[in-house]
Structure 1
């Protein structure tokens, strides 16, 4: 019950309990993994990220604010640069920035979001990341112990106004290697907030029979991005197939139908 209370303590966060990270003697849990805030210009909002050392040795953690971008395949990248158009990194303060966590102890990292009075857009979702990296403790350095580094990330979304997403689905392509087949689908977003990949992809044969159903993974498509998302699929015989994509956007379903041809292997 205590941890459930701490999850609820962070305003408007979407929390799925503790997220464990265990590696070579490092056993950490943290909450929340994501924070969603609705803010106004000039507003100040505070919250807490809780970290628990579930291991048997003390851990030294360093907290940093970082920008959150995505690669061409929609993989999150956490970088030490500021994109003023979509970043809330420069408005967010993390305290403390370094701390030792004893075994079986919980330490709060407090963050404060101070929204500027004037923003680059009146209605937009800004984003950044609170990162926590394990570092050698003083005892580790004295004893010259080899340690592994673990990074934990809490993504923070700060929405100002009522921005809308503008989803678009491109034409899918099948890519095959000796070991795997993948269906790659382009997704883009010309809007001012992210949308999530909630939905399904149906692969149908020439008789319109569904031969495979793929579930989307709820990953976000960020504003002003064009990415390719890959799905592992079963090997397909030569021929034409219909790809029916259904993207659930809450109030509506966006559909895309495309014909994809599988050519004979060379």
Structure 2
């Protein structure tokens, strides 16, 4: 676990959220504070704010905005509607095409953005996330997606295709425990140390990276991922980053700031 009790606590967004905040604090073994506004706190450095949405907030008066998982509105909704469909690089990398929407295990879930894109393209996606704080954010985002899907027929199939695995502390170990060639596609996007001067890295995401850290053991994912996949393992990397585990992929799809390295085993249906 990347955090310590001194660096993170739980607060309620309003008094009526106090019971839910208490339950979350017990579940994650974190302190529960009575304050409801992160800006009025100097310590700890971060809080999980339990309200309509679960938010990870930096504390202090000049803190950046909160981080939450939102599959329903904002950037996720815009990309779902206008993101380019099967023409997107991620779709090509995974092998999506008309009539073929492979099941994907996203073994480094993070905030679930790529998993949701793959769901919106028609893939069933199982998300693994070992960090308990990030997993709590993901579970909350998935809960709100399913609630919204009850009122929105467009979201209902997406909510049905997205699943979060329970309590996976070691993605490499989980993958190693799967039968050989049993997962159509394994998708890896290890947390990479952010470039501090990049204008594209929002302040709130810098805070997220600081709390969660980078995946120092990411290289250990490739071998069990490739052993478990049937069609391919896809690795998302910053454009200039080295190959994962130093292994050259069969092919790469390169964009302006990132690339997808593809390790093929069997060809996808044509």
Report the structure, 1 or 2, having the larger helix content. Answer: 2
Fold shared per TM-score above 0.5 = no
- Using structure 2 for the length normalisation, give the TM-score: 0.22
Higher strand share: 1
